[in-house]
Amino acid sequence: MKQGKLILLPNLLGRDSKKEYFPIILKEKINCLDGLIAEDEKNARRYLKNFLSSEKTDNFLIKILNKKTKDYDDIINSILKGKTWGLISDIGMPCIADPGSELIFLAHLNNIKVEAISGSSSILLALILSGFSGQKFFFHGYLPIEKFKLKRKIKEIEKACDEKVTQIFIETPYRNFRLFKFLIEVLKDNTFLSIAKELETENQLVVTQKISFWKKGCFSKKIYGKEYFHKKKMVFLISK
C-alpha cells in the first residue's frame, strides 16, 4: 500500500501578492494531493485555482481545520490508509499564529511522514526588514485585548528588550490602530517600534523609528492616523 503523508504548503501574504512568490515546485506537489486542509473552503479553492483547472478545483476534496477543530481522526486515518494531504493557512506558512500544529504533532505520533515546502512568513520578513537583531527574538502572537492586561503586557515585553531580544507581535487588522495607540502611550520615547505593513504587495511599507517619532506622526502631522492602520495586515516589532 502507498504510504500517505502530510505536506505543509505556503500561501501568499496578501491577495495582491504576485503569483511569482509561489515556489516552482508547488504545482507538482499539489497535483499529487488527495485532499487539502484549510481554514476556509472558499479561500482553499481560490488557492487551488492557481495550480489546477476549474474542474479539478471544484471537485477537490477539502477538509476544514480552524481554531474550533478538536477531532483530527478522519485526516489521520486517511493518511494512514495511504492518502496524501496538503495543509495551508489563509496567509503565509501554516501553524505560525494559525491552527495546524496539533495535527502535525498527531501525525508524528502516528509515524506519518511530514514534509514542508518553504515559503514566505510575514513574521520573519518583518524581522529581517526591521533592522532589529535576528539573533534573539520572541514572537508573542496576539497580545491581550483587555486594557489593563494589554498595558501590563506591553511593559513586560519592553523590559525584555533590555536583553537585546527583539519582540514581535500581531493584531487583528481592525484593531491595529487601537494597539498602536496603546504602544505609543505605554512605551518609552527612546524605545524603537517597527511596523511592517502589507508585506509582499505593492503597498508594502516598513517603518522603524523611536516612539517619539511615532508620537509626532500620530498626534501632530496626522501621518499615521487610523486610515494608515485600519484593516491592513501588519506586524509590530519593538527593540532598544
User: What is the C-alpha separation between 158 and 153, in angstroms, rounded?
Assistant: 9
**Which pTM does this prediction carry?**
0.90
Tens of pLDDT, residues 32-66: 999 999 999 999 999 999 999 999 999 999 999 98
Do the domains 5-116 and 122-239 sit in the same CATH topology, yes or no?
no
Classify residue 55 by burial, with Cβ atoms within 10 Å: 0-12, 13-18, 19+.
Answer: exposed
Torsion (CA) 68, 150, 164, 194 in degrees, nearest 10 = 80
Q: Which CATH class is domain 5-116?
A: alpha beta
Q: How far is the first Cα of the chain from the last one, in angstroms, to the nearest whole number?
A: 56
Domain extents for the chain? 5-116, 122-239
Q: Considering the chain, what is the average pLDDT of its residues?
A: 92
Tens of pLDDT, residues 146-192: 999 999 999 999 999 998 999 999 999 999 999 999 999 999 999 99
- The set of residues, in sequence order, having a beta carbon less than 8 Å from that of 90 and lying 6+ positions away, is 11, 38, 39, 40, 43, 98
Long-range contacts of 98-103 (CB under 8 A, 24+ apart): 98/39, 99/39, 99/65, 99/66, 99/67, 99/69, 100/8, 100/37, 100/65, 102/72, 103/6, 103/37, 103/65, 103/72, 103/75, 103/76
- Give the residue ranges of DSSP H helices in 147-189: 147-160, 176-186
Q: Which CATH class is domain 122-239?
A: alpha beta
User: What is the C-alpha separation between 25 and 32, in angstroms, rounded?
Assistant: 11
Length of the chain: 240
